[in-house]
Amino acid sequence: MENYFSVVLPVYQGGRTIARAISSLINQSYPNWELVIINDGSTDNTQEVVSQAMRHDRRIRMFIMPENAGRLVARNMGNRLARNEWICMLDADDEYMTNYLEVLNDEINRNPNYKIFNFGTLMKQREMVNGFRYEKGWNILEPFNLKEIGLGMETFTSGKITTGGFIFKKELLGGVSFYPETKIPYGGEDSFPSMLVKKDPIFKEFCKQDKDGNWLPLGNPWGDEPSLFWWLTRNYKSKCLDVILNIHHIRP
C-alpha cells in the first residue's frame, strides 16, 4: 500500500538554509509527498529560492503571508492546507534522511493500527566563537519509547522529541488548528504555555510555572514540538521506531 505524506515547512528569513531542506525532500527514495511551505513574511531571498525549486518540482507549494505572523500561525496554516493523510514537519534549517518517507511508508503498512510514529534524530552541533560559527560534531537523540498507560502514553519530560522526529495522521487534529497563535514563547498570560492551558486544561499536566507564576520552557524557545506530540499521545499510542531518520541542525 502506498501512503501519501504532506510535509509542512514554515519559514521566516530562511533563504540561507531552505534549499538544503527542500533538497532532502526531492532526494527522497519514496515519491508520494507534497511540500507545503508557508513563507511567513520573509524579506530575504526565501521566496526566490523556493520559487526556483517549484519550477523543477510540482510537488512543492508555497503560500506567502503578507507580514510575519509567527511560526505557530504558519504551522496552523500549513496543517490546514495539507492535502494528504499523513503530516510530517520540517524546519527550514533541518533535513531528512533520504529514506525518511520510504521507511515510514513501510512501517505504516506493518502497523496499520497506529496513527502516530516517532523515531530518532541526528543532531548537528555548532558553537559561536568570536563571531564565527564552528562545527562541533554529531549527537544522537535516541528514539523515545514511551510506556503505555491506558489509551494514551505516560507523561514525559521535554527535550525528547524534535520537529521532524514524529509524524501523525491529519485526522487527529479534528479539522481545527492546534497551536495557539502567539509570538510569545513563555512568560505572561499571552505566552505559549499559558495559551495552551487556556486551549485545553489537560496541558496543566505539561505546562509548569515557577514560584513567581512565570511559565517555564517546554524544551525549546517555543515548545511546539513536544507540546503537539504530548497532546496527540494523550489519546493515541505512538509507535516508536528504532531508527534515525531526521537531521536537526542546532543553531548556536
- Residue pLDDT, tens place only, 93-117: 999 999 999 999 999 999 999 999 9
DSSP conformational letter for 215: B
> How far is 116 from 113, CA to CA, in rounded Å?
9
User: Do 55 and 146 belong to one domain?
Assistant: no
Sequence-ordered list of residues with C-beta below 8 angstroms from that of 156, at least 6 positions apart, any chain: 144, 146, 230
* pLDDT score, position 45: 98
User: Do 124 and 196 belong to one domain?
Assistant: yes
Q: What is the mean pLDDT of the chain?
A: 89
pTM of the model: 0.91
Q: State how beta strands 166-169 and 33-40 pair.
A: unpaired
User: Do 242 and 138 belong to one domain?
Assistant: yes
User: Do 129 and 187 belong to one domain?
Assistant: yes
* pLDDT score, position 129: 53
User: Do 23 and 53 belong to one domain?
Assistant: yes
User: Do 121 and 226 belong to one domain?
Assistant: yes
User: Do 199 and 155 belong to one domain?
Assistant: yes
- Mean pLDDT is lowest, of 166-170, 221-225, 243-247, for 221-225
User: Do 60 and 142 belong to one domain?
Assistant: no
In a domain, 175, yes or no: no
Provide the b/e sequence for 155-187 (b: ≥16 CB within 10 Å): ebebebbbbbbbbbbbeebeeebbbbebebbbe
User: Do 130 and 220 belong to one domain?
Assistant: yes
Domain count, the chain: 2
Sequence-ordered list of residues with C-beta below 8 angstroms from that of 13, at least 6 positions apart, any chain: 42, 43, 44, 46
Q: Which residue range forms the structural domain that includes residue 5? A: 1-95+104-110
User: Do 242 and 122 belong to one domain?
Assistant: yes
For 235, the grid coordinates are: 489519546
User: Do 221 and 129 belong to one domain?
Assistant: yes
Find the largest Cα–Cα distance for the chain.
54
Question: Looking at residue 44, which CATH number applies to its domain?
Answer: 3.90.550.10
Could you identify the residue written with the cell 505572523?
69
Percent of the chain at pLDDT exceeding 70 = 87
User: Do 187 and 68 belong to one domain?
Assistant: no
- Mean pLDDT is lowest, of 84-98, 108-122, 138-152, 220-234, for 138-152
* pLDDT score, position 132: 56
User: Contact 121/244 with Cβ under 8 angstroms?
Assistant: yes
